[in-house]
Amino acid sequence: MTKNLFAQITGLGMCVPPKILTNADLEKMVDTSDEWITQRTGIKERHLVEGETLSDLSVIAAREALQDAGLKGEDLDLIIVSTTTPDMQFPSTSCLVQKELGAKKAACFDLAAACTGFIYGLSVANQFIISETYKNILLIGGEVLSSITDWQDRSTCVLFGDGAGAVILEPTREEKGIISVYLAADGNFADFLKVPAGGSRQPATIKTVQQRLHFLKMRGNETFKVAVRAMGEAAKEALSLAGLSSKDVDCLIPHQANIRIIKAAAKRLGLDEDKVFINVEKYGNMSSASSAVALYEAVKCGKVKQGSIVVMTAFGSGFTSGGCVIRW
Ligand code: UT7
């Protein structure tokens, strides 16, 4: 009997722009303090673009992932870019990335699931692979959140950063790679975290610009509470779909929005902190890039090894949430 197909991650790449904005820098911009930011979020610094675009960051991350996998652009069958901050409304950023990589035969689309986008993307890539539609898939989680950050709003501007992470997925008949994915959404919370204008509901006008409606707005405290619950639940659901429990987890890679959310979600899963990968202090919340970059760093630093059971869990605007179990 032929064994089942699995989607395995065979290449990893990442890119953050060189410019760093520290909490001390932010103290000079808004009424905040390093102490408040560190205690409430765990963030110490974040990387911001200085002219680089999302496609620039994505292409650098993608080239590293391709090299890691031993593939070339022309080997790709599909490119997915998960983002809420594309270079332009259209064409999709994935098409811009395709051009730079010379990935002539790849189909391309962008995916919008906010901070959960990388896990949604893993799910989509997994489906294309196990259905034998495509073989070599490039998935990028990337954001230039600084482009929608209101630098006068201290309640949000301290939280976010820019970056991109990329993975290559390929089929394998060994039981490794994506074991299960759980996705969820609840549009009743759509107002809690959004960019009000710039879409077809409220196109750009002088008034929308003056009212600062093109910037991200968040009801932080309420979002926090749902995030803790949803990230814990998504991880549990993914584990259950895989026929595993928290005891089997070698490394939890949660969305990096806030150290307190990460710790609370890990506690709900009954996981010791040494099993949780955290890098929020270096990058802040990079939305869909956070999970991709965290996975990259967890593998490269040796926290994720051959055979490790990895659980990714994320939460974002929508609200969306998702969990994924990977056997590395
Ligand atoms: O990526 C997925 C979605 N996003 C998230 O998951 C983020 C979820 N939310 C959070 O991480 C937290 O809610 C925040 C970090 C955004 C805020 O932390 P909090 O503990 O929920 O604080 P808060 O919003 O309840 O505000 C507490 C106080 C307020 O002052 P008063 O009303 O108590 O006098 C705020 O005005 O802190 C004040 N505050 C600040 N003070 C100094 C808000 N932002 C700042 C700031 N510096 N940057």
Ligand 1 contacts (CB < 6 A) are: 32, 36-37, 40-41, 115, 154-155, 158, 193, 220-221, 223-224, 227, 257-258, 261, 285, 315-316
115 is catalytic: yes
Q: Which residues, at least 6 apart from 36, have a Cβ–Cβ distance to it below 8 Å?
A: none
User: What's 302's DSSP letter?
Assistant: T
**DSSP three-state, residue 108:** strand
List Cβ<8 Å contacts ≥24 apart for 131-136.
Answer: 132/5, 132/171, 134/77, 134/78, 134/107, 135/77, 135/170, 135/171, 136/69, 136/71, 136/75, 136/76, 136/77, 136/78, 136/168, 136/169, 136/170
324 is catalytic: no
pLDDT digits (tens, 9 = 90+) for 200-214: 999 999 999 999 999
| In the chain, % of residues over pLDDT 90 | 99
Residue 2: pLDDT above 90?
no
Residues 162, 48 contacting (CB under 8 angstroms)? yes
Is the CATH number 3.20.20.105 carried by domain 6-175? Answer: no
| In the chain, % of residues over pLDDT 70 | 100
Q: Which residues, at least 6 apart from 20, have a Cβ–Cβ distance to it below 8 Å?
A: 45, 46, 47, 48
Residue nearest to atom 38 of ligand 1 (CA): 155
Residues 314, 322 contacting (CB under 8 angstroms)? yes
Our mutation pick for probing the ligand 1 site, out of 39, 43, 221, 293, counting the most ligand atoms within 8 A of Cβ, is 221
Between the CA of 221 and the centroid of ligand 1 the distance, in Å, is: 6
pLDDT digits (tens, 9 = 90+) for 118-158: 999 999 999 999 999 999 999 999 999 999 999 999 999 99
Supply the pLDDT for residue 135.
97
Residue 1: pLDDT above 70?
no
Mean pLDDT of 284-303: 98
Is the CATH number 3.40.47.10 carried by domain 179-327? Answer: yes
User: Domain-by-domain residue ranges, the chain?
Assistant: 6-175, 179-327
Global confidence as pTM = 0.97
pLDDT digits (tens, 9 = 90+) for 170-221: 999 999 999 999 999 999 999 999 999 999 999 999 999 999 999 999 999 9
Beta strands at 78-82 and 137-144: parallel, antiparallel or unpaired: parallel
**DSSP three-state, residue 284:** coil
